[in-house]
Amino acid sequence: MGVGNATFRSAGQISQHVIPGGYSRISAPAGNVGGVNANRIVIVGQATGGKPNEVMWFTTINDAINTLRSGDLLDGVRFALNAGGGLVPQMVGAIRVNSATQAVSTLQDALSADVINLKSKDYGLHTNSIKYTISNATTTGKKIVVTKDGVSETIDNIFKESIVITYTGDATTAVLATTATGLTITLAGDQTDGTLNASALYSTYDTIEKLVGYLNSLAGYTVTLVDGVDGEDLSSELDIVSAISVLTAYTANSDGKAMVDAINNFSNYLEATAIVANYKPVVNVADVYLTGAVEGSAGSTEHTSALTTLEQEDVQAIATTSGVYAIQALYKTHVTAMNAVTGKKERQVYLGATSGDTLATAIAEAKVKNELAVCQMYCEFKDYDLNGVEKTYASPFFACKMLGQFGALDIIQPHTFKEFSANSLVTKLTTSEKEEAIRGGLWVAEISPQGTFRTVRSVTTYQKENLIYNESSMVRTALYASRDLRNYLEVSFVGQAGDTSVLASIETLTRTRLNSFRNDLDLFVDNPNEGWNNEAWKNLVISVNGDQVSVTYDATVTAPINFVFITNQFGILVTL
């Protein structure tokens, strides 16, 4: 059935309308405010940069370019942040849906054993171009140079002295060895002073300070922390060494840990993880490339994972750059679940028809969706890409523009007749086609009489004649009021004892909130119909059943002005 007609009755005539606008007829008379978020938006799509399946927030297009690099998701975010019509959202969230991976490499010690795992900080094929060189430091320790896209970063003088150990007894040899689990000092020769071998498990002496204390408790050992070393550093982070004489002062280093920290703290391209069982200094290498990164797939599994992530997010509208209807069906299921009683994350979704679809095919898909929280766009347009080249963008990108406007509009404001930016429209519909599209649940665009591009009417795919469910702004208002009142009462009262005073407070605060919806936010409008007494809401009933409190009320949701009907009654001057 779809969107209902607006009926214009005057001058003995009747006509039906679905396209918003002003309509006139000539007649010759026969005689003489809110508490919860309302504008948080997220786009899901493919990109060549950014961590997959994680919401990233952007306030500027440059920030999005630096993170997402390229791809449909970046275009969607660009259009949302610059939708036109003077409507700019405060920020736009993005989820990279393709399951890209990080490029990897391994640093080794002098015996070719792996000691540090490296990963690219970013994800995707481009990270395979990262290379690194490790050489002797300018002063002490090691130096690493990391290069990406012709830009290099240098981290120099990487080393860490931890403790100084000296054996002062009369043994002729005192040999230090460290492993992944502990430290030993083995004595040999003529011992007449009673000094003994040292053996310390890191599980017992887990910090450097405890290890130093243990060694100093033994006769014949002098051990000190190097200046500036934190005594809470882990003893297991000492480099693994063997056959080291401590008859003279020996400085035990944590150079392996220093390399890990240096990379993690100062590199823009790499992250490092020590192989804990093998802390050792790394060897020099030249121009080693990271490998193994892939772009990953972006099918139903990945979109399902992204939607699972969004279940935990406080967002009010989402979109995807995918025009695949099987994938879009997942988004319908998602918003239906989020808007259900147990979802508690009310939201709408903006989708776009598959590229090149006929109007009939797009309408058929909107009828399949048939959901008050789903808006289906049918508008291809031309705009510039990142390189300033004009290209055609499919309807999902029009959806991204409309999502951006959602993030800037007041709750009750419809998209109807709101202008948006584009170079030109590819989808140009006749008046009858626009009527057919709107009746079928499609959101379409047109060229205004002033030559600008604008939304015709902001409808949902709901296929029955119910203005509250047909108009996107009214659905948004209803979802907001539901979410805000529930959150308000839940935070205020759940967990309290249900005595008489609390129940009275529930009624008082509910009335306060409903009045705020009318007076501060204009979500509700006064109803002049008989029985309402010009009230925006009425019939508040609060009932108690055990540990359950039920709140019901009636309200009149603010509707958009889509039509202005003008009846011109002209007469003829008659002179006698």
Q: What is the residue-wise DSSP string for 238-250?
A: SPP--SEE-SS-E
Note whether residue 512 is domain-resident: no
pLDDT at 131: 98
239 and 177, same domain (yes or no): yes
151 and 43, same domain (yes or no): no
Can you give the CATH number for the domain in which 130 is found?
2.60.40
Note whether residue 367 is domain-resident: yes
Do the Cβ atoms of 70 and 48 come closer than 8 Å?
A: yes
pLDDT at 295: 96
Note whether residue 371 is domain-resident: yes
pLDDT at 26: 46
Note whether residue 26 is domain-resident: yes
155 and 171, same domain (yes or no): no
Two tokens, residue 102: 């990080």
Note whether residue 182 is domain-resident: yes
Tokens 């036109």 locate to: 84
375 and 325, same domain (yes or no): yes
364 and 450, same domain (yes or no): yes
pLDDT at 47: 98
Note whether residue 546 is domain-resident: no
Q: Along the 576 residues of the chain, how does pLDDT read in single tens digits? A: 677 777 654 443 445 677 776 655 444 444 344 578 889 999 999 999 999 999 999 999 999 999 999 999 999 999 999 999 999 999 999 999 999 999 999 999 998 999 999 999 999 999 999 999 999 999 999 999 999 999 999 999 999 999 999 999 999 999 999 999 999 999 998 777 889 999 999 999 999 999 999 999 999 999 999 999 999 999 999 999 999 999 999 999 999 999 999 999 999 999 999 987 778 899 999 999 999 999 999 999 999 999 999 999 999 999 999 999 999 999 999 999 999 999 999 999 999 999 999 999 999 999 999 999 999 999 999 999 999 999 999 999 999 999 999 999 999 999 999 999 999 999 999 999 999 999 999 999 999 999 999 999 999 999 999 999 999 999 999 999 999 999 989 988 888 888 888 888 999 999 999 999 999 999 999 999 878 888 999 999 998 888 888 999 999 999 999 999 999 988 888 887
Q: How far is CA 417 from CA 166, 217, 435, 472, in A?
A: 83, 83, 15, 13
pLDDT at 546: 86
Two tokens, residue 367: 């009828």
pLDDT digits (tens, 9 = 90+) for 429-466: 999 999 999 999 999 999 999 999 999 999 999 999 99
Note whether residue 563 is domain-resident: no
Last residue of a domain, one of 271, 289, 307: 289
pLDDT at 15: 59
Last residue of a domain, one of 270, 289, 308: 289
Q: Give the DSSP per-residue string, 117-172.
A: EEEESS-SGGGGG-EEEEEE-SSSSEEEEEEETTEEEEEEEE--EEEEEEE-SS-S
326 and 466, same domain (yes or no): yes
Q: How far is CA 46 from CA 296, 318, 320, in A?
A: 10, 15, 9
Q: How far is CA 354 from CA 173, 303, 328, 531, in A?
A: 80, 17, 10, 48
pLDDT at 499: 83
467 and 332, same domain (yes or no): yes
120 and 189, same domain (yes or no): no
pTM: 0.89
242 and 125, same domain (yes or no): no
444 and 379, same domain (yes or no): yes
pLDDT at 192: 79
pLDDT at 187: 95
Note whether residue 503 is domain-resident: no
pLDDT at 566: 92
Q: Which domain holds residue 128?
A: 104-159+259-289
- Tallying the residues shown for the chain, one arrives at 576
pLDDT at 576: 73
79 and 222, same domain (yes or no): no
Domain count, the chain: 3
Q: Which of helix, strand or coil describes residue 64?
A: helix
263 and 352, same domain (yes or no): no
